[in-house]
Amino acid sequence: MLARQRLSLASSSHLVQHQQLWQLALSGESWARSQLLEDARSEGGLLVTHLGQHWARPAPAFPVEGGRLQIRISDLGARLNLNSTLVPDDVIPRARYQRLLALAEIKPHDPAALLRPRDRLGRPLPLSDISELRPLPEVGADTLQRLAPLVAAYDQGHINLNTADALVLASIEGIDLPTARTLAQTRPAKGYPTVAAFLANPMLQGRDITARGLSVNSRQFRATIDVELHGRRLRLVSDLRVMSADQVRVQQRTLLPLPLNDHSLTE
């Protein structure tokens, strides 16, 4: 009986600690939403989304009693949207995806080959996470890990030229990797105001680049919240969509184990 009581106390303590971690993670998510709202309410809002805004600024680790809280916000528009490769007869995003795979030295595969579930009208549902690529024979755990910083899966959205890294920029037809690196390093501090302004860059003159699928703004973001409390750790990944200057909606939440080699809470 005493052993059962001890087990019950240990289980209760574990549950309380998990609830505390969860509440801290949700507070971090709220902070991330507040940063996005601050930008959405500023002059011009997020009509131009760039790396000089509040959401993009590195946040210090927040100390809490018995632990720390670290929050990072990233623009999912900086990544290639997998759902853009599923649009029938639109070869441009599919070609960009294949170029991205080649640049990242990832084995070619076609997301359109997936057997996707359908809605009540028989229409294939969009992808909601890159892990849905896993049924493809060419895609393993290592491939997903390497794809993670380069692609995302959400309903609508184009490549944000103001936040995309060099590899993603180089996936665009007519842009080679050395040029993409220079473009990423020399972007205006407040971003390109329009896609036309980006294409007017002297480095891009004479190149055959299609504006379709490109943008200078984003509404889709990801907050990664790492929590450590009394030696226990938790990572919450929240996908957020800016609906208006007054609302940031949580699209989905994913709980992940914090990698053993991750030092974000100890730096």
Tokens of residue 251, six digits: 């699209």
What is the pLDDT confidence band of residue 10, given thresholds at 50, 70 and 90?
very low
Question: Same domain, yes or no, for 46 and 71?
Answer: yes
Question: Same domain, yes or no, for 27 and 150?
Answer: no
Question: Same domain, yes or no, for 173 and 226?
Answer: no
Residue 264 lies in a domain: no
Residue 97 lies in a domain: yes
**CATH number of the domain residue 114 falls in:** 1.10.40
- The phi, psi pair for 14, rounded to 5°, reads -60, -40
**pLDDT > 80? residue 266:** no
Least confident of 56-65, 113-122, 134-143: 113-122
Question: Same domain, yes or no, for 168 and 102?
Answer: yes
Position 5 scores a pLDDT of 47
Question: Same domain, yes or no, for 106 and 144?
Answer: yes
Residue 247 lies in a domain: yes
Contact 243, 37 (CB under 8 A): no
Position 265 scores a pLDDT of 56
Question: Same domain, yes or no, for 208 and 96?
Answer: yes
Question: Same domain, yes or no, for 44 and 150?
Answer: no
pLDDT tens by residue, 39-82: 999 999 999 999 999 999 999 999 988 899 999 999 999 999 99
Residue 183 lies in a domain: yes
pLDDT tens by residue, 158-212: 999 999 999 999 999 999 999 999 999 999 999 999 999 999 999 999 999 999 9
Residue 262 lies in a domain: no
Range of the domain at 159: 78-215
**CATH number of the domain residue 240 falls in:** 3.30.1300.30
Contact 131, 153 (CB under 8 A): no
Position 9 scores a pLDDT of 42
Question: Same domain, yes or no, for 128 and 202?
Answer: yes
Question: Same domain, yes or no, for 93 and 208?
Answer: yes
Q: How many domains, in total, are found in the chain?
A: 2
Residue 19 lies in a domain: yes
pLDDT tens by residue, 190-199: 999 999 999 9
Position 29 scores a pLDDT of 98
- The phi, psi pair for 98, rounded to 5°, reads -65, -35
Distance CA 73, CA 54 (A): 10
Q: What mean pLDDT do residues 126-139 have?
A: 95
